Amino acid sequence: MAQRRMFSQKVVETDRFLDMALTAQTLYFHLGMHADDDGFVGNPKSLRRMIGASDDDLKALVEKGYLILFEDGVVAIRDWLVSNYVKKDRYTPTIYTTDRQLLVVDRNRRYQLAAEVTPETTVEPERIQNGSKMDPQVRSG
């Protein structure tokens, strides 16, 4: 799992985000820190309990459009691609491939359920940057 994640101000400094309860905002940040390289979290309820957030906080994030909740309990962070990119040499695909196949990326680089959008409104961007191997890397220890 990655040690660094980004959160775009375009997402977390909006009135819609800041009007949510602080526990819901905190839950969003914790989910972002624990997400895989595609923005999926397999244990949102465990994280919710760990930080003391309520089930209503998780529901608020889904209702406000910050998360997509799948039937198997996995969540996808809708604005993942707005905030994060992973270089090709460091990218690990999600293990939640069935859930990922249900999503498309819209023109605003947000995940949408494929069943809810038309093909004209979506575009799959090149999300993995090749970058240079000379870019700074995090050293363990």
Helix (H, G, I), strand (E, B) or coil at 26: helix
Contact 110, 81 (CB under 8 A): yes
CA–CA separation, 103 vs 136, rounded Å?
32
Give the pLDDT confidence score for residue 69 in this predicted structure. 95
CA of 16: how far to CAs of 7, 63, 72, 136, in Å? Answer: 15, 11, 27, 35
Give the pLDDT confidence score for residue 3 in this predicted structure. 73
Give the pLDDT confidence score for residue 56 in this predicted structure. 96
CA–CA separation, 99 vs 77, rounded Å?
12
Over the chain (141 residues), the average pLDDT of each successive run of 10 is 82 94 96 94 95 95 95 94 87 92 91 79 54 58 55
Give the pLDDT confidence score for residue 115 in this predicted structure. 86
The residue among 40, 35, 15, 36 whose CA lies nearest residue 25 is 15
pTM: predicted TM-score of the whole model, two decimal places: 0.80
Q: Phi-psi bin for 30: left (phi > 0), alpha (psi -120 to 50), beta?
A: alpha
Give the pLDDT confidence score for residue 127 in this predicted structure. 53
CA–CA separation, 67 vs 74, rounded Å?
10
